[in-house]
Amino acid sequence: MLICLPKPLAYAVVSFGLNSFSRKTAVSENAYAPAEAQLLVAGEQTPEFYVVARWKFILLSILSFGLYFYFWIYKNWSLHKRSTQQELWPWARAFFYLFFVHQLYRLAKKRILDRGGKSNWDLEQWATVFVVLTVVAHIFEKLPKQIPELSFLGLVALIMLPIRVYVASEGQQLINLAANDPQGLSNNRLNAWNLLIILPGVAVWVLVGLLLAGVYP
């Protein structure tokens, strides 16, 4: 049975239905707005470089006998990939980090200049010194295995470690500046993961000291 309504009443019913549907649709769409806004904010806040305080960088690098360099480079390229959506392999650049130090420093300096900042830091010089020292140290570590008479070079390589760490920490200063955190305050404390490096590192350094005391009285 079909019920016929007067035209004015029919128009009123249709208008009411459309308005109700529009309000419900608007509400359902707005329900996702905060989540989308949060995603946008999160995307804007994604750091491009790995920030770490200089003292912490030096401590972890020395106690890990330079193994921290691999983690350091990996974190920088991993964050750069997330921030720029570039296609690259952070783990590969970390494994062959000597080939990518110059490029990392150039990116950091470019970000500083793009923001209108100034940097007189000679990145090419510091990057080259770090690479050369690292290559020489690795050679000094390997030679005694082939030529026992050159065993003293192993000690020289060990002495070179703090120098390499200091040179690399200069580069980290530039990276911190590019990340708008010159002092590295956002990563200025030790955490539980750092203890996994510190405790074994201290033990190994003590052992090395005892061995050196016996070999070189």
What's the domain count of the chain? 2
Q: How much is the pTM?
A: 0.75
Instruction: Tell me the residue range of the domain where 37 lies.
Output: 7-43
29 and 128, same domain (yes or no): no
109 and 173, same domain (yes or no): yes
Q: Assess if residue 77 is contained within a domain.
A: yes
pLDDT tens for the chain, 217 residues: list them: 434 444 444 444 444 444 444 444 443 334 444 444 343 344 456 789 999 999 999 999 999 999 999 999 999 999 999 999 999 999 999 999 999 999 999 999 999 999 888 777 788 899 999 999 999 999 999 999 899 899 899 899 999 999 999 999 999 999 999 999 999 999 999 999 998 888 888 988 898 888 877 755 5
86, 91, 94, 97 alpha-carbon torsion, rounded to 10°:
-70
69 and 126, same domain (yes or no): yes
208 and 134, same domain (yes or no): yes
Distance CA 154, CA 109 (A): 35
DSSP string, 102-167: HHHHHHHHHHHHHTT------HHHHHHHHHHHHHHHHHHHHHHHH-GGGTHHHHHHHHHHHHHHHH
Distance CA 176, CA 184 (A): 6
32 and 60, same domain (yes or no): no
